[in-house]
Each structure stands twice: as structure tokens, then as C-alpha cells.
Amino acid sequence: MSISDDRTRKPRADSLRNREQLLEAAKAAFAAVGADAPLEEIARRAGLGIGTLYRHFPTRDALLAAVYRREVEQLSASAETLLATRPPGEALKAWLHLLVDYMATKRVIAPALQASPGEGQAAYAASGPAIAEAMDRLARAAAANGDIRADVGPDDLYRMLIGVSYGYDRPDWEPSARRLIDILMAGLKPPA
């Protein structure tokens, strides 16, 4: 096998499955224990050995960045899925609730990413445009469908969400944020 063949070879299915198990276990461990959750505990939760964890994520920072990137990718991709399966207004509301889930994960991981030079900071910095693009797509579709006021643009929605996100680092934030999302969606309906 040549060197170029080795570089283009796709990861094996079991390797991809192990990586996904590790990311899911890490997300759960970080949520339960914090960003300093023991890596051995994460490997155990995934049903894998610590060597497998280190083969995929050589450092804690690499694992934190991968969990965060995965959350951003899933949130961004969910916009298209929701628009394909629901009316645009319902898709926007469902996505905003997913945004609350994302922010709950971010609350735990973001401080560690910001403190991590290199990969962590890069992952954190790159998340904004992907999330803004998904929200923009949903808001425009909901406005075009008449589900929200036509005079409300993505920038307006973004400003409203800044208020919803206030205090996201507090333990009682999530139930309040979900109530505010419902209130926000009711207020965005076009006048009768």
C-alpha cells in the first residue's frame, strides 16, 4: 500500500462507532461532573478502554473540542431536518429548544475551551457562524411562510435570544429559557 492510499483510507466502521460512543459518553460525563471529568470514567461509560480514548483524542482538550464541534454540527444540521419535516414556524420553535440543549452543554464546556490554547479556542470561535446560519435559514423560512411577523429578521431574533441566554451558567436557567422560548414564539406571530 502506498502512502497516498493510507491517507485516503476511510476509518473503519468500528472506529467510527467507538468515536461516537466516546463523544456521547464524554458529553454525559461533562454534564454530570464538569469539564474535569476523569478520562478513565469517560472510557468506562463508553464501554471502551482508556487506550481507545487516547487513540481518538490524545488530550482532554482534543476531546472537549470534539464534543463541542459535534454539538454545533448537530444543532446546525437539525435546521434542515426540522424544515423538511415540520412547518417553518414549528421548525424554528423546535430548533430554539435544541439551542437551549446546546447552551446547557456549552455552559460546561465553553470555559475549558476558552482556556485551552489552539484547538479548543478554534472550535469555540468557529461555532458562531454555523449556528447563526441555521437560525437565519429558519427565521427566513418562518417569515416567508407567515408563521412569524415579516418585519422580524434574523438579527432581531438574535437580539431576543441574547436575553434568553442571560444567566445560562446558572443551574435554574434551562426551565426559564424554555418558557421564554414559548413566550418569544407567541410574540412573533403576525397580528391577526
Check pLDDT > 80 for residue 1.
no
Domain residue limits at 46 = 11-58
- Of the candidates 74, 106, 80, the one whose C-alpha atom is nearest the C-alpha of residue 177 is 106
Choice between 127 and 118, residue whose per-residue pLDDT is larger? 127
Judge if 24 and 76 occupy the same domain. Answer: no
Judge if 24 and 78 occupy the same domain. Answer: no
Across the range 36-42, mean pLDDT stands at: 95
Q: State whether the Cα torsion 147-152-154-157 is positive or negative.
A: negative
- Of the candidates 131, 108, 111, the one whose C-alpha atom is nearest the C-alpha of residue 121 is 111
Contact 29, 42 (CB under 8 A): yes
State the pLDDT confidence band at 171, using cuts at 50, 70 and 90.
confident
pLDDT one-digit tens code per residue, 133-147: 999 999 999 999 999
Number of domains in the chain: 2
Judge if 162 and 91 occupy the same domain. Answer: yes
Across the range 142-170, mean pLDDT stands at: 89
